[in-house]
Amino acid sequence: MKLLWLVLVLLVATSCTTTNEETPPVEGLATTVPKAPCPPPASKGYMLSATNAQIKDTKNRLPEISGVVASTQHAGLLWVHNDSGGAAEVYGVGMDGTVQSRVQIETQAKDWEDITYGPCETGALSCIYVGDIGNNGMSRRDLAVVVLEEPRSIVAEAYSSARRYEFSYSDGQSYNSEGMAYNPGDGQIYLITKGGNAELFRLPKVLKNKMVAEKVCTLSDVNGVVTAFDIKKGEFLVRTYGEVYEYAVRKPELECTGLIRRSGYNNEGYNEKQGEAVGYLPTGGFVSISEGDNPKIYVFKAK
């Protein structure tokens, strides 16, 4: 009987879970036994698609694409925007490269660097979040996240109001950032800095003006400056000018301990002038887009 009890305790203590649950108490033990997190599933990697469309914009309105996010409401549509100096606009681009919509936004655009999706406090189905987070001169005091409702229909020309939430960093320092993404695991927006160390910050769950981005940790194994960032449940992408890295995470929130960095995907096999945009696809895989006139939408499919 004692041997059976010992085996039961060992089985309970060494089992794992994909959630934060604890095992129920075993009779005879004073406390519950927390389950260890299961390791993430092994990655099978990605491969470059044989067909990668080129953006077709005869008006040359997208010379410096700096962010991309897949639409949550319109299949096969990507939302993109220009870098510093661009107008306060986002563009809907099809996977075939056609520019299907321009949305002019009632806000300012100082140095937009990344784009993501997230929930809407207005009750709309989904919202687009744009990061006015570039700070090349390290002197800005008006870094902000711009939030607008994702258009329900796609038209050639559209207009949208927006809410602008300014923020500062918790350590009081100035950072230049080109990566921002919504984490569906904990429902929060994360930022990753560009120069020097790749510092990870997290915004409050409820956005408000003059909020503070809390420092989470430092990603010490990123080679090169970070130019884009995206998150999906259990995984996130970090891209530099030369490579794209994927990390597997064990917890709903992002942190820098216990990460598994998967193989990098460098741009030697394809021609990207200055890659500054990366985003997961809802169908699997991810896209990568460079700055430059009519760049290609490079699609990496899951193996």
Per-residue pLDDT of the chain (303 residues; tens, 9 = 90+): 433 333 222 333 334 444 434 333 333 333 333 344 444 454 567 888 888 999 999 899 999 999 999 999 999 999 999 998 889 999 999 999 999 999 999 999 999 999 999 999 888 889 999 999 999 999 999 999 999 999 999 999 999 999 999 999 999 999 999 999 999 999 999 999 998 789 999 999 999 999 999 999 999 888 889 999 999 999 999 999 888 899 998 899 998 988 888 766 766 667 787 889 999 999 999 999 999 888 999 999 887
Q: What is the pLDDT of residue 264?
A: 66
In the chain, what are the domain boundaries? 2-36, 39-302
Does residue 199 contact residue 177 with C-beta atoms inside 8 Å? no
Three-state SS for 90?
Answer: strand
Assigned token pair, 111: 């140095």
Three-state SS for 36?
Answer: strand
Q: Measure the CA–CA gap between 261 and 236, rounded to whole angstroms.
A: 10
Q: What is the pLDDT of residue 123?
A: 82
- Domain 39-302 = CATH 2.115.10.20: yes
pTM value? 0.85
Residue 147, C-beta contacts closer than 8 angstroms, at least 6 positions apart: 118, 120, 127, 128, 129, 130, 162, 163, 164, 165, 207
Q: What is the pLDDT of residue 268?
A: 66
44: exposed, middle or buried (Cβ count in 10 Å: 0-12, 13-18, 19+): exposed
Q: What is the pLDDT of residue 23?
A: 35
Q: Measure the CA–CA gap between 53 and 97, rounded to whole angstroms.
A: 5
Pairing relationship of beta strands 163-169 and 211-219 according to DSSP bridges = parallel
The one-letter amino acid at 213? A
Q: What is the pLDDT of residue 43?
A: 53
Does residue 37 contact residue 277 with C-beta atoms inside 8 Å? no
* 105: nearest Cα among 71, 72, 147: 147
Q: Measure the CA–CA gap between 199 and 219, rounded to whole angstroms.
A: 6
